[in-house]
DNA sequence: CAGTATCCCCAAGGATACTG
DNA sequence: CAGTATCCTTGGGGATACTG
């Protein structure tokens, strides 16, 4: 049998471009929405699910953990019954808001002018 | 005790969410970089390849056509020899700049403060 | 120069079900 | 409530080669 050479498909991280770096944080599916939902204060898991209806619990969980690991948000277990968990932006996460706001503003402007994909 | 009402922050349907709409435009790989490269004026295909080294011609071509179809940029064949093609932002594309700038600024700030993934 | 043409790949997402 | 556990699909990219 022929030896199967795995092609080198690994993308050499181009170069730490601020643009690319930032997109790595907010580029994931629903990530901007999550950060946006946290703009006015902490939200719980199920609240986020309501904020962003189409997101599945698995994906929400994945994205939250990813954002937590990147230092964008904190996860706090509240000693309530039933237990609840609050997610809140860190100062670092708050720093991302201008970028998200920029996207929201532009999206809003496009919508107002009747932009269609 | 009084109900602690947590205000619903974004009651917007996801399909019409400006955030999501805008991300559909700039969410593609290298898309922000392409738009960013056009910020100061038209660029040619090979210039863009130099601007964004790791991008393959196929992907660059794909993204450019996508952006053209979305009305973000124009493609102009220059009657030179050898032939060259210029890509330039449309007014609509220029509208995206604040969003991109926001991302760039935040990325830059994160980098300055030594942020690592 | 400015792209197409192929082929391939895998990890991000989705669907669904289940649990502490 | 706040998640895991599985399984599966897809299409966005990547590599490489070729052309007008």
What gap in Å lies between CA A59 and CA A30, rounded to an integer?
Answer: 9
Per-residue pLDDT at B42 exceeds 50? yes
What gap in Å lies between CA A33 and CA A55, rounded to an integer?
Answer: 10
* Closest protein CA to C1' of nucleotide C5, residue: B58
Residue A15, pLDDT score: 58
Task: Please judge whether B102 and A99 are an interchain contact, meaning their C-beta atoms are less than 8 angstroms apart.
Answer: yes
Residue B114, pLDDT score: 86
Q: Which of B5, B7, B10 to mutate to test the interface with A (most CBs of A within 10 A)?
A: B10
Residue B8, pLDDT score: 43
Per-residue pLDDT at A5 exceeds 70? no
Q: Residue B11's pLDDT band (boundaries 50, 70, 90)?
A: very low
- CB proximity B39–strand C (7 Å threshold): no
- CB proximity B90–strand C (7 Å threshold): no
How far are the Cα atoms of A7, A84, B29, B54, B56 from residue A11, in angstroms, in the given order? 11, 39, 12, 8, 11
With a pLDDT cut of 70, the percent of chain A lying above it is: 85
Residue A39, pLDDT score: 97
Per-residue pLDDT at A8 exceeds 60? no
> Any idea which architecture A18-113 has in CATH?
Orthogonal Bundle (1.10)
Q: Residue B113's pLDDT band (boundaries 50, 70, 90)?
A: confident
Q: Residue A25's pLDDT band (boundaries 50, 70, 90)?
A: very high
Query: Could you tell me how many residues make up chain B?
Result: 117
Contact partners, residue B115, CB within 8 Å, separation at least 6: A21, A71, A92
Task: Give the other-Cβ count within 10 Å of B26's Cβ.
Answer: 21
Residue A82, pLDDT score: 86
Domain spans, chain B:
18-113
Contact A54, A60 (CB under 8 A): no
The model's pLDDT over B69-100, given as tens digits with 9 standing for 90+, comes to: 999 999 999 988 888 999 999 999 999 999 99
Q: Residue A53's pLDDT band (boundaries 50, 70, 90)?
A: very high
> What positions of strand C are covered by protein, i.e. any atom < 7 Å from a CB?
1-6, 8-10, 12-17, 20
Average pLDDT over residues A46-75: 96
Residue B12, pLDDT score: 43
Q: Residue A14's pLDDT band (boundaries 50, 70, 90)?
A: very low
The model's pLDDT over A64-117, given as tens digits with 9 standing for 90+, comes to: 999 999 999 999 999 888 889 999 999 999 999 999 999 999 999 998 888 876
Q: Touching check for A92 and chain B: CB below 8 Å? A: yes
What gap in Å lies between CA A71 and CA A20, rounded to an integer?
Answer: 17
Q: Which helix (H) or strand (E) holds A88?
A: strand A84-89
With a pLDDT cut of 70, the percent of chain B lying above it is: 85
What gap in Å lies between CA B23 and CA B99, rounded to an integer?
Answer: 10
Residue of B nearest to A51 (CA): B10
């Amino acid at each position: 049998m022929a030896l199967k050479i795995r092609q080198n498909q690994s993308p050499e991280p181009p170069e730490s471009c601020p643009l690319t770096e930032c997109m790595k944080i907010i580029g994931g599916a629903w990530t901007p929405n999550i950060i946006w939902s946290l703009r006015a204060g902490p939200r719980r898991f199920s609240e986020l699910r309501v904020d962003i209806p189409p997101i599945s619990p698995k994906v929400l969980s994945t994205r939250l953990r990813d954002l937590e690991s990147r230092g964008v948000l904190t996860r706090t277990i509240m000693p309530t019954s039933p237990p609840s968990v609050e997610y809140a932006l860190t100062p670092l996460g708050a720093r991302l808001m201008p970028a998200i706001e920029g996207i929201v503003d532009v999206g809003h402007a496009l919508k107002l002018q009747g932009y269609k994909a």
